[in-house]
Amino acid sequence: MSNILSWIIWLPVIGMLVISLIPRNNSKIIKQIAAITSGIQLLLATYLWQVFDSSIGEMQFMERVEWIPSFNITYILGVDGLSLPMVLLMALIGFIGIFVSWNIDKAVKGYFSLFLLLNTGVMGVFLALDFFLFYIFWEVMLLPMYFLIGMWGGPQREYAAIKFFLYTLAGSVLMLIAILALYFTCGNTFDMLVLMETAPVALNGMLWWGMSAIKVIWVLLFIGFAIKVPVFPFHTWLPLAHVEAPTAISVILAGVLLKLGVYGILRINYTMLPDGVFWFAGALALLGLINVIWGAMCALAQKDLKKLVAYSSVNHMGYTLLGMSAVIAASGMNGSNLISAQAGVGGAVFQMFNHGTISAMLFILVGVIYDRAHHRDIEGFGGLASQMPVYTAFVAIAFFAGLGLPGFSGFVSEAMIFIGAFPVFRTIVIISTLGILLNAAYFLWAFQRMFFGPANEKYNDLPEINSRELFTVIPLAVITLFLGVYPRPFLDLVSSTLNLLIESVVTIGGYAGNL
């Protein structure tokens, strides 16, 4: 399988074409085809993981096909230690998402077609190594999302969908400008691997309207990605989109789509504009801090469970930013500083993955109770623990994982982030450790209000979580627990690539030094 990456990307489209041939009332077959397609994709991704050589930090399984030669646009794919975990995550969450949406009964054909198209878009973003291709996949992903929220969402779905779409599109436009700027300044190429070599040299010292070109491009790209992360103050589309989106879409949105932003910053900003990293790291850490605290405080005040979980995403993604900022510790590449850079960046990537599994779990569980009680008002429950003990146990696992309890993977990544960022941004990290408390506060408070206390008579005959739902939650819980106890498999997978990334940032970023 020499073009396994293409298979992974385009398989959902094949599934989508097959679905389009099926009459619209055969909803069961449509669902089965979607599940089989995602299943095969998951198997392919797992196979890729097995044959992937984690000791190599560079791109592997590269594919390169001429596409539009007159503009130097090429179809380039490749996978490394940074994208592989994300591919695995998307394959897993995509597969689980099909089963989460098993109960969809409105326009099933359209839903699953769009769902698979979304899968292709996300996979494409993670695997594309040509900037033009990257941008196309970025937009491909946006479109199905718009329809999935706008047609299958909650009461305010049109508003949420249009807001999500416009907000993200605004970011994409800035990104497009930055892409074109890089294209024209760095030798008319969209090839990311080439740009990584040429951009730092070509942009060095270049001024645009009296501003450093590196800074301008960095900020344009950053805003484009920050909207996706979402970084404060670009975060308000997220709670709305989450609250209105159907469960499976929230799961994909929180589980994978938010990672695209961080992935983009690491893949593009960090490699092509290493000088900008040094310039922006402080702001990155500060934004991370604000995300952590602001997200937690907003979560604490929520009455809607799904909104609480959405704000918890804002909070958790803040840790990622904080960890990423630690990369500048390694300048000079001497021993102890390299430790914190590795801990920080490794923690950030690990946190991305962990947030993927944990928040997916949280949203699935929110969906489970919403399907039964038809509301998500935290105050409206109470005493569910005695009525739905198994469900309670899984919510407890998800909540404890979310609040960073040791034994769950979230703890390892958060600890790594703190340890990594601490030597560089001491005050910021000390303030952000408040997150340790606030995370626990909002999760436990919500847990108490929903599950503890006298049982609410109204919910005496709520059915317990069923086996389909358990099937969607258990794999995520197992992964979270396993990586919490033994994080080696993940960290070994990413460490060579990240070490290479850190090295390139600090060695190339040394050039201009001070912008």
Partner 1 sequence: MITGNFYTDASLVILFLPLLGFVINILFGKKLPRQGDWISISAILTTLVLALILFAIMLKNWDYKFSHEVIMPWIDMGAFKIELGFWVDNITIVMLLVVALISSMTHIFSLEYMKGDIRYNRYYAYLGLFTFSMNGIVLANNLMSLYIFWELVGVSSYLLIGHWFEKNSAADASKKAFLTNRVGDIGFFIGIMLMFTAIGSFNFQDVFAGVSDGEIKGNLLTLAGLGLFMGAVGKSSQFPLHIWLPDAMEGPTPVSALMHAATMVAAGVYLTVRLFPIFTPDALVTIAYVGGFTAIFAATIAITQNDIKKVLAYSTVSQLGYMILAVGVGNYTAAFFHLLTHAMFKACLFYGSGSVIHAMHHSLHNLHDHDTDPQDMRNMGGFHKKMPITSTTMTLATLAIAGVPLFSGFLSKDAILAGTLYFVDQNPQHMILAFFGFGAAAITAFYMFRLIFLTFHGEPKMPKVFEGIHESPSLMTAPLVILAALSTYIFYTLPINLIPWKDYGWFTKLIKAKDSVVAGTPSAKEIYDGVHYMHDLALVLSLTVASIGIGLSFLMYYRSTISSKSWAKRFGTFYRLSLNKYYFDEIYNRVFYQPFLKFCNIVAIIDWDLYDKYFINGFGHVTKLLSKVTGQVDYDGLDQTLVDGVGRSAGGLGKGLKNIQTGRLQNYMLFALIGVIIILIVQYSVIL
> Which residues here bind partner 1, judged by CB under 8 A?
163, 166-167, 233, 236-237, 239-240, 294, 297-298, 300-302, 335-336, 338-340, 342-343, 346, 383, 385-386, 400, 405-407, 411-412, 415-416, 418-420, 422-423, 429-430, 433-434, 436-437, 440-441, 444-445, 448, 451-455, 486-488, 491-492, 495, 498-499
DSSP code for 269: I
DSSP code for 463: P
Task: Say if residues 429 and 322 touch (Cβ distance below 8 Å).
Answer: yes
Measured in degrees and rounded to the nearest 5, phi and psi for residue 27 equal -65, -30
Nearest distance from C-beta of residue 297 to partner 1, angstroms = 4
Parallel, antiparallel, or unpaired for β 73-79 and 60-68?
A: antiparallel
Beta carbon nearer to partner 1, 291 or 357: 291
Nearest distance from C-beta of residue 376 to partner 1, angstroms = 15
Parallel, antiparallel, or unpaired for β 60-68 and 207-208?
A: unpaired
Nearest distance from C-beta of residue 70 to partner 1, angstroms = 35
Question: Measured over all CA atoms, what is the biggest interatomic distance in the chain, rounded to whole angstroms?
Answer: 71
Nearest to 142 by CA among 24, 252, 25: 252
Nearest to 475 by CA among 41, 115, 95: 95
Beta carbon nearer to partner 1, 283 or 485: 485
Beta carbon nearer to partner 1, 60 or 342: 342
Nearest distance from C-beta of residue 437 to partner 1, angstroms = 5
Nearest distance from C-beta of residue 170 to partner 1, angstroms = 8
DSSP code for 155: T
User: Two tokens at 306?
Assistant: 């799904």
Cis preceding linkage at 230, omega within 30: yes
Nearest distance from C-beta of residue 143 to partner 1, angstroms = 20
Measured CA to CA, the distance from residue 42 to residue 107 in angstroms comes to: 25
Nearest distance from C-beta of residue 456 to partner 1, angstroms = 11
Nearest to 350 by CA among 326, 367, 369: 326
Beta carbon nearer to partner 1, 134 or 443: 443
Nearest distance from C-beta of residue 227 to partner 1, angstroms = 11
Beta carbon nearer to partner 1, 339 or 373: 339
Measured CA to CA, the distance from residue 53 to residue 214 in angstroms comes to: 33
Beta carbon nearer to partner 1, 43 or 437: 437
Cis preceding linkage at 487, omega within 30: no
Task: Say if residues 98 and 468 touch (Cβ distance below 8 Å).
Answer: no
Measured CA to CA, the distance from residue 416 to residue 411 in angstroms comes to: 8
Task: Say if residues 421 and 282 touch (Cβ distance below 8 Å).
Answer: no
Paired strand residues for 73: 68
Beta carbon nearer to partner 1, 218 or 294: 294
3-state secondary structure of 128: strand
Nearest distance from C-beta of residue 73 to partner 1, angstroms = 32
Query: Position 475: which residue type?
Result: P
Beta carbon nearer to partner 1, 236 or 507: 236
Beta carbon nearer to partner 1, 351 or 495: 495
Nearest distance from C-beta of residue 197 to partner 1, angstroms = 24
Measured CA to CA, the distance from residue 74 to residue 190 in angstroms comes to: 8
Beta carbon nearer to partner 1, 176 or 481: 481
